[in-house]
Structure 1
Amino acid sequence: MRLTKTLCAQHLGWHFKKHWLVQGKRVPKETGAAAELLKLGVKVKNPEDILNPKVEKKLVDIVGTREKTIPEDSRHPDWHSAVCHSYVDNSVLIGGLPQAQVLTNCIEIPTFPKQIEDALASQQLPKSVDKSIRHAILASHVLDAEQVKLPKVRVPERPRFNLPRSYGISHERVNRLLVNKLLQETEKIAGRSVSVRKRFIDNATFKTSLSKDGDLLGFSVNAEKVVFANRAIEVIKGKFEGNLPDLYPMKTTISIPKRHIYQKENFYPLRTDISCSHPHTIFTVFNKHLVKNAHGSEVTTSQLHARTLVKAFVVAAARARQLHGESLEGVLPKPIVVQSVQTDGRTFHFGVLQLNTLDLGANSTTKNYWFHRQNYDLFSECSYEAGRTHLENYNGDVFRIFNAFYNNS
């Protein structure tokens, strides 16, 4: 049997702890000393104010620290009482191309301008071009060394099932490599006399603000690659007739988010005194994981065409405001022509916009022109099969249109 120390009936440690707790709750009695000191003019201070004086803290701006978030309400410096319909890169017009036509006051011409059609009819390319384009497709889609985690693949029948993540070339890199290689092949054919008059810019931003039937529209879009030229594309000759689609009962600005925080600004990436500042062709990339409808459905072909049109319109409008002032609201002194190409790495959509007026109202007599064709598939499948590269259903017409757009002036 283990012997233990005998404890007293009243433990001294416990007793002293309880004693201090009781004594600590006593309220000091008023002795009248403070009142006597005040009569003599002596200031009485609290001991805590002397032992722990309050120090006023000053705010110091340190470079590299996270800035304090600005509340997104009426206290924000860019807050406006009037709402603005803000169109950005990932916006989708639910009405598709008809809504884009009414929004930008454009009539649709389902063909390319005459100078491009004539160039396609008389175009003679070397026989080695198709071989080079095939190699460019393989080099950008399967032969590049980049290996990153690709987006998740969802199965509609099993929405909560997580498939194993796959690795490969990112969507952004595939499109950047493909467009760069197509432009490189085009410059080889065109020669130095044509390529010296053009310049390229990656990830260019364009911003502008317009009014339409009492609604304020704000546009801020990005073009993955832009071709600038030392002179503007010639105005398309001829008069084209057509009517805008009827969207009733749908409003023109449907599916465009409303915001109270915005800036009315016009931004064009190049100054007017630069020799190659005229917009020639913009290349935009469509990524289904970033651009999608608010209700979750896939983007339709008409909505894809609308995106090509709106981006070309914003570029032309920003250039018009830069040349003729931000107060310009009516017919342009000289129309601006911008070519637009949109791709997801396989499907290409080509269009040409001629901006004649910035008056987007329903009563505007002058219309803008939108020339385009349906989508073209560069190929149907590009992958590895049995350890070898495989390219199926290559379409050479895509590069021929690409070449005609580049050489148009």
Structure 2
Amino acid sequence: MRLTKTLCAQHIGWHFKKHWLVQGKRVPKETGAVAELLKLGVQVKNPEDLVNAKVERKVVDVVGSLEKKIPEDSRHPDWHSAVCHSYSDNSVLIGGLPQAQALTNCIEIQSFPKQIEDVIANQQLPNSIDKSIRHAILASHVLDAEQVKLPKVRLPERPAFNLPRSYGISQERVNRLLVNKLLHETEKLAGRSVSMRRKLIDNATFKTTINKDGDLLGFSIHAEKVVFANRAIEAVKGKFEGDLPDLYPMKTTISIPKHHIYQTDNFYPLRMDINCSHPHTIFTVFNKNLVKNSHGSDVTTSQIQARTLVKAFVVAAARARQLHGASVQGALPKPIVVQSVQTDGRTFHFGVLQLNTLDLGAKSPSKNYWFHRQNYDLFSDCSYEAGRLHLENYNGDVFRIFNAFYNNA
């Protein structure tokens, strides 16, 4: 039977609701029970005092549960009165490569060392290697199954307009897959006799602190992949002359943030007693969404090349401090050579640093050497066109340099 308003009025549930409303408005009558209980010495309490009783809460200190935030002032245990110019992964040298040279006391040589140049010119690779590298590029850029929300794309002419968010492979995964695949192809060509003398580590951290002309420089960087070898790379033969860039009126520490809270420890990820502990090649990634200028402009090519140099310098300096102790401040007993490769998934920058001295002062008698070439584009476009894979302007020279760096000893 369909319920109507008349039937609902006679429904038993309706009667119960009305009954509770009427009974709730009744006023309790005085029965004299309270007076009788008080005569017998029985304490009578108000029901509201029992229902809404005030409970006194005590603060209990539980070790390890909630850590108190340490104030970032002079009360901090790592507070120092002297400021430290702290360089990290997201730092950008506004002066670009010239500032990096003046900061690390490096002379620029716009070519690779002779042994690497000879390997690049004389190496003979199989005809199938270009096909393998093309497949590695496609596999890392468009064929991987990862689908995440990509960073926002802004239009310079319409800065307030929000474009629809797109999904695809994150840049971190693209770079990791590409470097791993290039290393895999290189190891296959080198053979077991070479690859067994190399060890790979992901996301290695390096820290060191150096004094330069009265300023304290603190470096803390990490490399996405590091190749360690059982034998250090031989120093480059010959002596190179050159002058450091003149940054006047700027200082070499411009655009490097200053902090009072810092640590002056030196950190190298491997112990000296490990067989493959010598730094060979570091691979770092440039992500334009994370590395930006403080004034908001795009990072220039010179600034990207400066990151390649500084990161190689930090690795070499951390290794020098591990081998010779924190007391070494001048020329090293034996130069340390570190190869550095930086990429954003498409553009590669190769460089070789020879650390001769940790004396970074302007009057230092010896200089460090920085060998590098200009950037190389592995390709110009890698995407889908009309539902088919498309790779345009593939550059095979990138892998040939990559292979020469890996086999250098």
The answer to whether TM tops 0.5 is: yes
Percent identical:
83
Equivalent residue, structure 2, for 1:124: 124
Equivalent residue, structure 2, for 1:190: 190
The verdict on how the C-alpha distance between 1:374 and 1:56 changes in structure 2, with shifts beyond 3 A counting, is same
**Counterpart-to-counterpart distance in 2, 1:165 and 1:57:** 47
Offset, 1:53: 9.8
Offset, 1:162: 0.8
The verdict on how the C-alpha distance between 1:384 and 1:66 changes in structure 2, with shifts beyond 3 A counting, is farther
Equivalent residue, structure 2, for 1:203: 203
AA partner of residue 75 (structure 1): R
Equivalent residue, structure 1, for 2:148: 148
Equivalent residue, structure 1, for 2:305: 305
AA partner of residue 313 (structure 2): F
Deviation per residue, 1:254-274 (Å, 9 max, x gap): 000000000001000000000
Counterpart check, 1:371 vs 2:371: yes
**Counterpart-to-counterpart distance in 2, 1:153 and 1:52:** 56
**Counterpart-to-counterpart distance in 1, 2:54 and 2:112:** 81
- What is the 5 A alignment of 1:41-190? 57-62=59-64, 65-190=65-190
**Counterpart-to-counterpart distance in 2, 1:202 and 1:135:** 23
Task: In structure 1, list runs of 5 or more residues that go unmatched.
Answer: 1-12, 14-50
**Counterpart-to-counterpart distance in 2, 1:220 and 1:95:** 20
Task: In structure 2, list runs of 5 or more residues that go unmatched.
Answer: 1-26, 28-52
Equivalent residue, structure 2, for 1:29: none
Equivalent residue, structure 2, for 1:362: 362
AA partner of residue 152 (structure 2): K
**Counterpart-to-counterpart distance in 1, 2:327 and 2:155:** 51
Offset, 1:66: 4.3
**Counterpart-to-counterpart distance in 1, 2:58 and 2:176:** 54
**Counterpart-to-counterpart distance in 1, 2:340 and 2:168:** 29
**Counterpart-to-counterpart distance in 2, 1:156 and 1:217:** 36
Offset, 1:158: 1.2
Aligned to 1:137, the other structure's residue is in SS state: helix
Aligned to 1:201, the other structure's residue is in SS state: strand
Counterpart check, 1:239 vs 2:239: yes
AA partner of residue 288 (structure 1): K
**Counterpart-to-counterpart distance in 2, 1:75 and 1:91:** 27
- What is the 5 A alignment of 1:246-325? 246-325=246-325
- When normalised by structure 2's length, the TM-score is 0.86
Offset, 1:67: 2.1
**Counterpart-to-counterpart distance in 1, 2:71 and 2:162:** 37
Offset, 1:328: 1.1
Offset, 1:222: 0.7
**Counterpart-to-counterpart distance in 1, 2:391 and 2:66:** 48
Deviation per residue, 1:150-182 (Å, 9 max, x gap): 000001111111110000000000000000000
**Pairs aligned (count):** 358
**Counterpart-to-counterpart distance in 2, 1:66 and 1:397:** 55
Aligned to 2:115, the other structure's residue is in SS state: helix
**Counterpart-to-counterpart distance in 1, 2:190 and 2:85:** 42
